[in-house]
Amino acid sequence: MALSNHDQTQIREYLLGKLNEEEQQRIEERLMVEDELFDEFEASKDELIEDYCDGELSQNERQWLEEHFLVSNDGRQRRAFALAMKCFHVPVAQVNEAPRPTWFQRFKSLFRTEPAAVINGSSVALVQPWTLVLLTSVVLVALIGLLVGTRTFSRGGGITFTGPTLASNVIKRGAENSLPKKVKLPRNAASLKLRLLLPKDATPATRYEAELDDRINTKQSEVVEFDNEAVSVVIPADQIPRGEYSLKLTAIDAAGARHAIPGEYLFNTE
Amino acid sequence: MNKREPPSQEAFDKLLSWLDPDRDKAAEKYQRIYLRLVRIFAAKGCVDEGDLADQTVNVVAIKIDWLIENYVGDPALYFYGVANKIFLEQRPRRPLPSPPPPPDNTEIERRCHCLEKCLETDASPEERDLVIRYHEGDGRARIENRKRMAEELGITVNALRIRICHIQARLRPCIEECLRQLDW
């Protein structure tokens, strides 16, 4: 039997806990015996998880999914797959399941009349009129400050864009044939910050040096921070026009001995 | 004998015969029923969906002599009836599950690597391109992209999403296995 739009809608509603017990049971019985409906069910789950990862579900829908389907092995696997797929297309740093509310949304939520509004999992108590006036003033002053600050900063040459976390091609699969990570640099980026994952057995170091290789020349890159897991470097945007690059890391231990971190960290700027 | 204990080989053989006299077809039907039970338990928010599906099969197997004599109808629906009871029975005991942890960059990076690997090993080059293209873009652009892909393939968008769903179902276990290997 061909599926109707109603079936598609019902499957989605079922997954989001919007059906009553009787409707739920009817859908589940059909899932046991109808192949086409079961295929639809499987495809709908992938799409729902995609919407979840893109932050396109309402707060209630997110919560339902998190407390039900996402606690199952099937849900966890599908979520992991969706995240991996997103990372395939955009830098890891931009993969964000639940977009944080904008400042405007947060500010607007303070004007709710309910005794307690839940914003991103935390409660906001009832706001009295005098606090609204005060808050408005504070926000306005902050906005003006922010605008002035942004202008000053822009004149200073643009932003530092935080790119993806990179694993070396040795960590990933052995030295050969690893796909470089794509990095889309915004126009206003003055520099790119990358986090480079260290191998688990990396030599403890007191500092690191990073070398950028564009396959013709090599340049030193600034190491801005590091811990046991990763090293962060910042590369001026003018050193990385569109193309493929690799970064090599060297660890320097307390005795001053240099240890090359195996492999390269590959990326592609666009 | 506890109803939740695994059935004897004899009971399990009878259960397969009940599903279909042909052994191969019976095995296929059994797998289909088992998968659907797992998926339904998962959709209901059961952490241990595989275990609950096993329990369901065990209960049905214990009753197999009675079922062969008396049950009329699609066996899949009987399995479902038992599954529903097991779900209702365990629901009050179920601890409130904790929400999934926020994505961690290192973990995403590992999964991305495994996805790359599995796309190479467990998908044909055409399937690989299909899956990658299918996920390109955001919002409206993604919808248009998928329409275009379906047109190119001469199939409906719905047929395309089902095809993608089948490829992804094959890739997911490969990704899990790859992650396990990375953990070693």
**What is A44-76 written as a DSSP string?**
HHHHHHHHHHTT-S-HHHHHHHHHTGGGSHHHH
What average pLDDT does range B37-45 have in this prediction? 96
B116 CB neighbours in chain A (<8 A) are 88, 179
Question: Hey, are the CB atoms on B168 and A81 less than 8 Å from each other?
Answer: yes
Q: What is the model's pLDDT at position A202?
A: 78
Q: Report the percentage of chain B scoring pLDDT > 70.
A: 90
Q: Would the pTM count as exceeding 0.95?
A: no
pLDDT tens sequence across B59-72: 999 999 999 999 99
Q: Residues 145-164, chain B: which have Cβ within 8 Å of A?
A: 161-162, 164
Q: Which of A69, A77, A167 sits opposite B43 (nearest CB)?
A: A69
A25 CB neighbours in chain B (<8 A) are 84
Tell me the average pLDDT of chain B.
Answer: 89
Q: What is the model's pLDDT at position A39?
A: 94
Q: What is the model's pLDDT at position A88?
A: 67
B109 CB neighbours in chain A (<8 A) are 87, 92, 164-167, 197
Q: Which of B49, B111, B116 sits opposite A72 (nearest CB)?
A: B49
User: Is A97 in the B-facing interface, judged by CB distances under 8 Å?
Assistant: yes
Q: Is the pLDDT assigned to residue A109 strictly greater than 80?
A: no
Question: Hey, are the CB atoms on B76 and A76 less than 8 Å from each other?
Answer: no
Query: Which range scores top for mean pLDDT: A98-102, A189-193, A228-232, B37-41?
Result: B37-41
Q: What is the model's pLDDT at position A175?
A: 42
- The tokens for B37 are 């039970």
- The tokens for A152 are 């000053």
Q: Is the pLDDT assigned to residue A125 strictly greater than 50?
A: no
The ipTM (two decimal places) reads 0.89
Q: What is the model's pLDDT at position B32?
A: 97
Q: Report the percentage of chain A scoring pLDDT > 90.
A: 28
Tell me the average pLDDT of chain A.
Answer: 76
Residue A194: closest C-alpha in chain B: B105
- The tokens for A141 are 């002053």
User: Is A26 in the B-facing interface, judged by CB distances under 8 Å?
Assistant: no
Question: Hey, are the CB atoms on A72 and B102 less than 8 Å from each other?
Answer: no
CA B137/CA B146 separation, integer angstroms: 10
Mutation to test the B interface, candidates A34, A79, A81, most B Cβ within 10 Å: A81
Torsion of CA A141, A143, A147, A148, to 10 degrees: 20
Q: Is the pLDDT assigned to residue A42 strictly greater than 80?
A: yes
Q: Which of B47, B102, B109 sits opposite A92 (nearest CB)?
A: B109
For the ranges A94-108, A190-204, A211-225, the lowest mean pLDDT is seen at A94-108
Q: Is the pLDDT assigned to residue A74 strictly greater than 70?
A: yes
Q: Which of A46, A84, A89 sits opposite B108 (nearest CB)?
A: A84
3-state secondary structure A82-144: HHHHHHHHCCHHHCCCCCCCCHHHHHHHCCCCCCEEEECCEEEECCCHHHHHHHHHHHHHHHH
User: Is A79 in the B-facing interface, judged by CB distances under 8 Å?
Assistant: yes
CA A141/CA B8 separation, integer angstroms: 76
pLDDT tens sequence across B97-143: 666 676 677 777 788 889 989 999 999 999 999 999 999 888 888 89
Q: Which of B36, B97, B116 sits opposite A32 (nearest CB)?
A: B36
CA A42/CA A2 separation, integer angstroms: 16
User: Is B138 in the A-facing interface, judged by CB distances under 8 Å?
Assistant: yes
User: Is B84 in the A-facing interface, judged by CB distances under 8 Å?
Assistant: yes
Q: What is the model's pLDDT at position A122?
A: 37
Q: Which of B46, B138, B161 sits opposite A54 (nearest CB)?
A: B138
User: Is A74 in the B-facing interface, judged by CB distances under 8 Å?
Assistant: yes
Residue A119's pLDDT band (cuts 50, 70, 90): very low
Q: What is the model's pLDDT at position A27?
A: 97
Q: Is the pLDDT assigned to residue B167 strictly greater than 80?
A: yes
